[in-house]
């Protein structure tokens, strides 16, 4: 029995998306206010700040995605990344996004303000997490509420990067 218990680890439960997202309301501009560092924002010659995402709902129900950041590793050059998102189910809360066809990645809205002022987005592996806001700055109480959602879903926030923090 001791041998069996010594190798036992219980993985955290799957992350849970919000019940639904109205993609028309979700469309528009979002500012990144916090993130868990990612290889595509924080490595490979990038140190992104002033990150923005614009989502545009298409007639076919998909979302055009236009991301920009100011790359401090390249003298503040503006970098652009365009992609497409599609709903993975009928809730609109679980999306699959493609920036390099044919590869897609999960994008789950796990927290959403009732007025769509801020959102928490993560991936099932818990490797990536973003807190987004309709404005460049999010009131501290809202940021704390968003981070509490992420913590409750077992995201490791120990390496969290807040927007526009010094590199």
pLDDT digits 0-9 by tens, 7-26:
555 556 789 999 999 999 99
Q: Which tops the pLDDT comparison, 124 or 164?
A: 124
- Domains by residue range for the chain, with CATH: 17-162 (2.40.128.20)
Predicted local distance difference test score (pLDDT) of residue 130: 97
Q: Residue 153 region, left (φ>0) first, then alpha (ψ -120 to 50), else beta? A: alpha
CB within 8 Å of 54: residues ≥ 6 apart: 28, 29, 30, 65, 66, 67
pLDDT digits 0-9 by tens, 150-167:
999 999 999 999 986 444
Concatenate the DSSP letters of all residues of the chain into one string. -HHHHHT---PPPPP---S---HHHH-EEEEEEEE---HHHHSTT--EEEEEEEEEE-TTS-EEEEEEEEEGGGTTEEEEEEEEEEESSTTSSEEEEEEETTEEEEEEEEEE-TTSSEEEEE-TTSS-EEEEESSSS--HHHHHHHHHHHHHTT---TT-EETT---
Residue 4: pLDDT over 80: no
Q: Kindly state the tokens that stand for 43.
A: 């490595």
Residue 2: pLDDT over 50: no
Q: Which tops the pLDDT comparison, 134 or 163?
A: 134
- Look over the chain and give the mean of its residue pLDDT values, rounded to a whole number: 89
Q: Kindly state the tokens that stand for 3.
A: 């041998």
State the distance between the two ends of the chain, measured CA to CA, in whole angstroms: 49
Predicted local distance difference test score (pLDDT) of residue 34: 96
Predicted local distance difference test score (pLDDT) of residue 9: 58
Q: pLDDT confidence of 38, banded at 50, 70, 90?
A: confident
């Amino acid at each position: 029995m001791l041998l069996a218990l010594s190798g036992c680890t219980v993985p955290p439960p799957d992350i849970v998306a919000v019940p639904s997202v109205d993609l028309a309301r979700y469309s528009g501009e979002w500012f990144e206010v916090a993130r868990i560092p990612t290889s595509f924002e924080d490595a490979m010659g990038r140190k992104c700040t002033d990150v923005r995402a614009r989502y545009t709902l298409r007639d076919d129900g998909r979302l055009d995605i236009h991301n920009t950041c100011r790359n401090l590793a390249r003298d503040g050059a503006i970098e652009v990344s365009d992609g497409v998102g599609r709903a993975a189910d009928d809730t609109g809360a679980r999306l699959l996004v493609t920036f390099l066809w044919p590869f897609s990645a999960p994008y789950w809205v796990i927290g959403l303000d009732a007025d769509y002022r801020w959102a928490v987005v993560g991936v099932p592996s818990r490797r990536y997490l973003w807190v987004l806001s309709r404005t460049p700055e999010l009131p501290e109480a809202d940021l704390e509420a968003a981070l509490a959602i992420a913590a409750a879903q077992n995201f490791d926030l120990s390496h969290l990067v807040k927007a526009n923090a010094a590199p």
